[in-house]
Amino acid sequence: MVGPTSVDNGIQKDEILIIKELDPTAVINEPLPPVVTENGHVVDVDDDQPESKKQSPREIVLGRNLHTSCLEVTEPGVNDELTGDKDADMASILSRYRKNLLDRTKHHLGYPYNLDFDYGALSQLQHFSINNLGDPFIESNYGVHSRQFEVGVLDWFARLWEIEKDEYWGYITNCGTEGNLHGILVGREVYPDGILYASSESHYSVFKAARMYRMDCVKINCLISGEIDCNDFKTKLLANKDKPAIINVNIGTTVKGAVDDLDLVIKTLEDCGFHDRFYIHCDGALFGLMMPFVKRFGSLEAPKVSFKKPIGSVSVSGHKFVGCPMPCGVQLTRLKHINVLSSNVEYLASRDATIMGSRNGHAPIFLWYTLNRKGYKGFQKEVQKCLRNAHYLKDRLRDAGIGAMLNELSSTVVFERPKDEEFVRRWQLACQGNIAHIVVMPNVTIDKLDDFLTELIEMRSTWYQVGGDEPPCIEADVGRENCACVKHK
């Protein structure tokens, strides 16, 4: 073992045990997964490479591990308690894994997770199995819970979305998807024969809910911005006037960060004669927590998500803008709707209207801790910072001749997909067809964006040489004015 002489990437040298026989975290040059276009065709990512450099394609197969490496679970040896070899092996693995996490965090840009948090003060609670099983407002016989923190967090969000304490019900979910599953389930229970309407840019969990609950689902076209096309919505509503409408409204779409016009959706429903026959679920995974802190940005006024409007439920992810070491979310609905889902559970001595049974009791404490530390003013500053940095990134991309789009009330910058899939993986970019995106979160600094831009511009000079390949045309994805291909420059 090496003595504590220096620090490498935040890891004390004495943490690293050198074991030559075991290196399960060594970097392996894995073959890249194929690029799948929207029509389902597979494109070989290195068709233009010489035969000697081509990698064999790796298909994505359900039920099989996508990774070629595995940290095997092994039985302790007979003398491990005496020699300490097993503990040493595991310490070495964990140390190298931590080092890998530091590097992956440094190059994280494509997914909407705020990685800038410090919960060291809560480490004293990690020795407890905290479980908030059942209804957060009704204690069960299990006493190791954090309901008092959970209800405090829910009350904070109730104030944010303008609903009285005695008029809402909600809970801390395990992720944003669970919030969508719950919100749509409530809508289905309120209107058992209702049709689910969702834009084509909605999160995949919305369509998963339709399959799980065997609901009729109508997909609505989108504008080039990614926002729901209410003209198409109107047409499809009028074709199904005999059945109630259950609508998913996006407060920030997954790929383009587009915010659906909630007021226009409501007006469209009313104009089509659905006055008291609709249920609206607002999927605010990321931007549902950002929009309340944006009054105006540029020439646009931020849309307001409020229970003073005829909506049925709102969900957000807790690990995205807030930042949390484990996935979690918040789901709020109207109390009058929840009785159709709630049932007594004698085993718990409580009631339950949640999707899951056991629920992570640590997550509410993490959320409570951050909400108390930052408050409304702290979040407002972070939102403004993210929007400014997103505009900086968009402008730098356009200055470099790279097609890019940014919706005014968004921190998601969409741009042409980098040609090299290794580059995509290095920066962990989220891609769809010919476009990729970066979600500018509180932990994404100008310096980090500059590092990315420098590397991207340098790499493009090798990808697109005179007389060779040209950058892709992304007019169909982001509009002519945002495309910088040869045809639209």
How far is Cα of residue 386 from the mean position of the Cα atoms in its chain? 16
Sign (positive/negative) of CA torsion 287, 288, 290, 296?
positive
Active site residue 410: yes
Active-site hit among 146, 350, 410, 411:
410
CB atoms within 10 A of CB 103: 11
d(CA 292, CA 282) in angstroms, rounded, equals 14
Site of tokens 């383009």: 256
Residues 6+ apart with CB under 8 A from 92: 16, 17, 18, 19, 22
Q: Is 286 in contact with 430 (CB distance < 8 Å)?
A: no
Which secondary structure element, helix H or strand E, spans residue 430, and what is its range? strand 430-432
What is the distance between the alpha carbons of residues 382 and 409, in angstroms, rounded to a whole number?
14
From CA 387, how far away is CA 293, in angstroms rounded? 11
Q: Is the dihedral of CA 479, 484, 488, 489 positive or negative?
A: positive
Q: What is the CA 170 to chain-centroid distance, rounded?
A: 20
Quick check: 72 and 458 in contact, CB under 8 A?
Answer: no
Torsions phi, psi of 371, nearest 5? -60, -40
Active site residues: 410
